[in-house]
Chains A and B, each alone.
Chain A
Amino acid sequence: MSTRCTLDIAGISIALSSEADLPIEAEGSARKFVCTDTVPVSAPEVRIHASWGDPREPAAPDLAFDSGKGLWRFYRTRSGPCFAFTSPALGPLPYQLASFSDDFTRGEVQIRREIFGARLPLYPLHYPLDEVLMVHLLAQGRGVEVHGSGVILPDGRGILFAGQSGAGKTTLSRMWLAEEGVKILSDERIIVRKENGCLWMYGTPWHGDGYIANQGRARLSRIFFLRHGTRNELAPVPRSQAVARLFSCGFAPFHDAAGLDFSLQFLDDVSQLCPPDELRFLPDRSALDFVRAN
């Protein structure tokens, strides 16, 4: 069993390490994002060390954000930003505490042994820490995570279908699964980044009901806001609305003014470089042909 593991999510390398008595490995869909020896990472962008501990909730005055259902809270402590994780099934004490440098590129994760000790090896970034961390890393100038599904067509075009729960992301993703030569990056979460003035979309480990989560990226060619319709059709979306709708489908640190500023500006750039349309679609194969043609 290992005490080292490196992930690559959306081009951001995250090196995990742990104490000798805490073997670690990626779990679930995150396994697909583990860097293999054939692609060595010389200088990981993010380094996180995990150890057993007695994680305690930081002082109440340092609380900056509460996710609302007792799942995670964000604190600004004197030593830096910190996430505390609890679960109703595990009692009032945090089962995990993750402390970071101000830019979130260096971190320490304290894990409660009474809860995890019999479940080794362990994934120190298990959900929601992995995704919460990614949202904060992206907001530091790297990109934005979007609530959407993403497919790569055989000709290389990357299509992002953005929409909140119930919009049809998984419905469409399942239909794309049957199409030859089409790669689905995710049925639930896509990360968008900008590189040399071009937009790229990346797969993520965070899947939806379709359990589709794959490593990979593609140039972003089209963005569609999904809506179930009575026929397949496109509706134009004014730019101001496009930014607002992208933001409503995006993930940003709501407690961080600078992070929010960046996210809004980034989504404005996205809507300019790749103007979204609303896609009203029928839940059958005709929708796929319609997307290909548009």
Chain B
Amino acid sequence: MIPTDQPPTSPEQRRKPYEKPTLSEVALRPDEAVLGNCKTAGVGGPAQADCTFFVGCSSVGS
């Protein structure tokens, strides 16, 4: 007779209980992801109206 209160030993018996798949969303911000703008001026391009043209700024769009 096999005792029923023993821990499972075969791989099938040790299988994890089923967990229903879940979907979680991770936001990707396109403007930030493609280096498409300037953070300081808030617009694209190195020649924004409110910053000096080509002054060595590397203020990335984040």
Docked complex Cα distance between A206 and B38 (Å): 11
Docked complex Cα distance between A161 and B4 (Å): 50
**B18 proximal to A (CB < 8 A):** no
Total number of A-B contacts with CB less than 8 angstroms? 116
Docked complex Cα distance between A188 and B43 (Å): 18
Would A68 and B30 count as touching, CB distance under 8 A? yes
B4-44 with Cβ < 8 A to chain A: 24, 26-37, 39-40, 43-44
Docked complex Cα distance between A90 and B37 (Å): 15
Least Cβ–Cβ distance between B52 and chain A, in angstroms: 11
Would A126 and B56 count as touching, CB distance under 8 A? yes
Would A135 and B56 count as touching, CB distance under 8 A? no
Would B32 and A213 count as touching, CB distance under 8 A? no
Would A126 and B54 count as touching, CB distance under 8 A? yes
Docked complex Cα distance between A189 and B39 (Å): 13
**A198 proximal to B (CB < 8 A):** no
Residues of chain A with a CB closer than 8 A to B46's CB: 87, 126-128
Least Cβ–Cβ distance between A121 and chain B, in angstroms: 11
Q: How many residues of A contact B (CB 8 A)?
A: 46
Q: How many residues of B contact A (CB 8 A)?
A: 31
Give which listed residue, B24, B39, B45, B56, contacts A123 with CB less than 8 A: B56
Least Cβ–Cβ distance between A84 and chain B, in angstroms: 13
A172-209 with Cβ < 8 A to chain B: 188-189, 205-209
**A77 proximal to B (CB < 8 A):** no
Q: Which of A16-24, A41-49, A240-248 contacts B (4 or more CB under 8 A)?
A: A240-248
Q: A68-B30, A164-B32, A165-B32 are in contact. Are A207 and B59 (CB under 8 A)?
A: yes
Q: A89-B48, A89-B49, A245-B26 are in contact. Are A208 and B32 (CB under 8 A)?
A: no
Of chain B, the residue at the smallest CB distance from A65 is B34
Would A208 and B57 count as touching, CB distance under 8 A? no
Of chain A, the residue at the smallest CB distance from B60 is A206
Residues of chain B with a CB closer than 8 A to A209's CB: 39-40, 59
Give which listed residue, A65, A123, A189, contacts B60 with CB less than 8 A: A189
Residues of chain B with a CB closer than 8 A to A65's CB: 34
Residues of chain B with a CB closer than 8 A to A207's CB: 58-60
Residues of chain B with a CB closer than 8 A to A71's CB: 35-37, 44-45
Given contacts A70-B44, A207-B60, 7 further A-B contacts (CB under 8 A): A27-B54, A72-B35, A165-B32, A209-B59, A211-B59, A244-B24, A254-B33
Query: 28 A-B contacts, Cβ less than 8 Å apart?
Result: A27-B54, A28-B55, A28-B56, A29-B56, A65-B34, A70-B44, A70-B45, A72-B36, A87-B47, A89-B45, A89-B47, A89-B48, A90-B47, A126-B54, A127-B58, A130-B58, A131-B58, A135-B35, A164-B62, A165-B39, A188-B62, A189-B60, A206-B58, A207-B58, A208-B62, A244-B24, A245-B26, A248-B26
